[in-house]
Amino acid sequence: MARRFARHERRSVTDLDGVWDFAFLGDADPDDVSAATIAFEDAMAVPGSFDATPAYAGKRGLAAYRTRVRVAEAGRHRLVFDAVHHWCRVLWNGEPIGEHAGGFTSFRADVEAAEGFAEVVVLVDNRFNERSPLHLEHFDWYHFGGITRSVELHRLNDLWIERLRITTEDLEARRINVVIDYQGPEQKVPLTIECGGRTWEEAVDLDASGRIERTLELPGAALWSPSDPALHLVEVRLGEDDMCERVGLRQVTVEGGRVAVNGEPLTLWGVNRHESHPNFGHAQPPALLVSDVQQIRDLGCNFVRGSHYPQDPLFLDLCDEAGICVWSESIGWQYPVDLLTDPDFVDAQLEHVDEMVEAAANHPSVVLWGVLNECPSYKPAARPAYERLLGRIRELDPTRPVTYATLNVFEDVCLDLADVISVNCYPGWYIGGIEAIPAELDRIAAHVDEAGHADKPLIISEIGAGAVPGWRDQHHGMWTEEYQAELLETVIGHLAGQDRISGLGIWVLGDFRTTEAKHMLLTRPRGVNDKGILDEYRRPKRAYGAVRRLFAG
């Protein structure tokens, strides 16, 4: 995978990124497709979004990818996909070995492989249908399809490590908890843990629990914080297998109406970010991820919200290094209440949340978990879904606060379920003029406090204005770069002069293509959500300089 450190040294891992054979099958039903009958007459980059390429731009349907892999030694092997959009079926020498629904999260497919060459075929469907219930056409972003993040082939022995989870138990003592989940027979094997120049070695008896838990102290180890993002490698060897994670020693709490890191209350100044680009779709090349982080830092941000889905693991690695606090959010955008009351849909969301937390839990930059952007939290019928999803996250990770972005804060009936109150609002754009912004922000803060949540951090999780790149005029009207800059100057200036609202996520870092749904296109010039302070090619608008100047101040 595209990561800033190697996760395995002993385990045999083959990088399968590159150019695969490709065929676009259109309206075909995947259940009617045999790998042997597919005519692979084209090529496609992996990672990549096939419907962002010139030959297949905008096409929806079933596609097929194929590559050959060499199996050096017979036995259990695992294909690891970091993301496929939206639904896929994995075939090994023509036989199905796994399926997955939902983009933006990693999944695995295991196979008992014979020595020699094998053919891997992946059927990929980017249509909106029941196979992938979490992706809906009305969302305000374009759903690109394809194998959009990296692919690896792992050789697994009889014993292997499934995952590592490292949490900070005590800051002063520099005490961490290491949880090792494994698969394998009951036996006695050597266990070695290395971190910060220290080594712990012992022989362990493996049992049916499949879990080893150890508490370790790292005297003198530097802590992770936005101002000093110190990182440490935790390397674990269990028998002949190994796994490495990079972590930061830090604790996230809610104190005095602020999100606090290591007891230091923070005011979060930042942006929302979509993983979208005209040339690459959802497949973000490393150069683009690096560029995005550089521009976020240049703006003076200490915070980014991953909207509205889990971000690329490499992006999180870069945020770990840069000291940028991240809100990691599960996929969603204005789901109707009939979905949030559908048990099958909620189960699909729960599975997606599990995958999000597993992928990002060891990243110190992740300080908030979020769910269900702009969904009907104002309807009592939706409350059980919020309870289940936020409750699941707390079960999986009690070390971070949870939140959701509400679009109807004055009618919301779920605010008590969140540790942090997050409000999307667009005064000066959808309602009123720029002059009305301070009063509206104060009205939101007063309502949250009167509703009994004065002790909780309050974040303006979205606010902004559209600006068609390059459109300027002396009237400074809506859709001009001048109007966008003036609106954001007003927002930042007002928030900087008060204490109650403790976070800001400007909507949005960069412009991005929106849905093909006509009702949305009619409100989106160029078919693009133009509220970015960068255009879709990451070229700064006038607002970029205004935000940078104010954040720096």
- Shared domain for 231 and 144, answered yes or no, is no
Count the neighbouring beta carbons within 10 Å of the beta carbon of residue 27: 8
CATH number of the CATH domain containing 330? 3.20.20.80
Establish if 1 belongs to a structural domain.
no
Residues near 297 by beta carbon (within 8 Å), at least 6 away in sequence:
322, 324
Task: Tell which of 155, 171, 197 closes a domain.
Answer: 155
Task: Tell which of 111, 138, 155 closes a domain.
Answer: 155
The predicted-structure confidence for 234-267, as pLDDT tens digits, reads as follows 999 999 999 999 999 999 999 999 999 999 999 9
Establish if 140 belongs to a structural domain.
yes
- Shared domain for 115 and 96, answered yes or no, is yes
The predicted-structure confidence for 405-444, as pLDDT tens digits, reads as follows 999 999 999 999 999 999 999 999 999 999 999 999 999 9
- Shared domain for 335 and 483, answered yes or no, is yes
Taking alpha carbons only, the member of 242, 185, 243, 235 closest to residue 210 is 185
Q: 481-496 and 437-448 are packed helices; what angle lies between their axes, rounded to 10 degrees?
A: 40
3-state class of 508 per DSSP?
coil
- Shared domain for 359 and 488, answered yes or no, is yes
Establish if 77 belongs to a structural domain.
yes
- Shared domain for 382 and 504, answered yes or no, is yes
- Shared domain for 174 and 150, answered yes or no, is no
Beta partners for 423?
Answer: 406, 460
Establish if 7 belongs to a structural domain.
no
pTM for this structure? 0.98
Number of domains in the chain: 3
Taking alpha carbons only, the member of 108, 105, 104 closest to residue 143 is 104
State how far the Cα of 177 lies from the Cα of 38, in Å rounded to an integer: 49
Is the Cβ–Cβ distance between 499 and 442 less than 8 Å? no
Give the strand pairing for 116-125 and 87-92: antiparallel
The pLDDT, as a whole number, for residue 1 is 60
- Shared domain for 343 and 273, answered yes or no, is yes
CATH number of the CATH domain containing 93? 2.60.120.260
Task: Tell which of 222, 250, 278 closes a domain.
Answer: 250
- Shared domain for 293 and 212, answered yes or no, is no
- Shared domain for 261 and 406, answered yes or no, is yes
pLDDT in tens, the chain (553 residues): 678 899 999 999 999 999 999 999 999 999 999 999 999 999 999 999 999 999 999 999 999 999 999 999 999 999 999 999 999 999 999 999 999 999 999 999 999 999 999 999 999 999 999 999 999 999 999 999 999 999 999 999 999 999 999 999 999 999 999 999 999 999 999 999 999 999 999 999 999 999 999 999 999 999 999 999 999 999 999 999 999 999 999 999 999 999 999 999 999 999 999 999 999 999 999 999 999 999 999 999 999 999 999 999 999 999 999 999 999 999 999 999 999 999 999 999 999 999 999 999 999 999 999 999 999 999 999 999 999 999 999 999 999 999 999 999 999 999 999 999 999 999 999 999 999 999 999 999 999 999 999 999 999 999 999 999 999 999 999 999 999 999 999 999 999 999 999 999 999 999 999 998 888 888 899 999 999 999 999 999 999 999 999 998 7
Beta partners for 80?
Answer: 108, 152
Count the neighbouring beta carbons within 10 Å of the beta carbon of residue 198: 12
Which pair of structure tokens corresponds to residue 242? 């190994």
Establish if 197 belongs to a structural domain.
yes
Establish if 295 belongs to a structural domain.
yes
- Shared domain for 80 and 204, answered yes or no, is no
Residue 235, domain extent:
160-250
Establish if 5 belongs to a structural domain.
no
- Shared domain for 244 and 276, answered yes or no, is no
Q: Which helix (H) or strand (E) holds 338?
A: helix 337-340
Taking alpha carbons only, the member of 502, 7, 528, 94 closest to residue 267 is 502
- Shared domain for 131 and 210, answered yes or no, is no
Classify burial at 266, counting beta carbons within 10 Å of its beta carbon; exposed 0-12, middle 13-18, buried 19 or more: buried
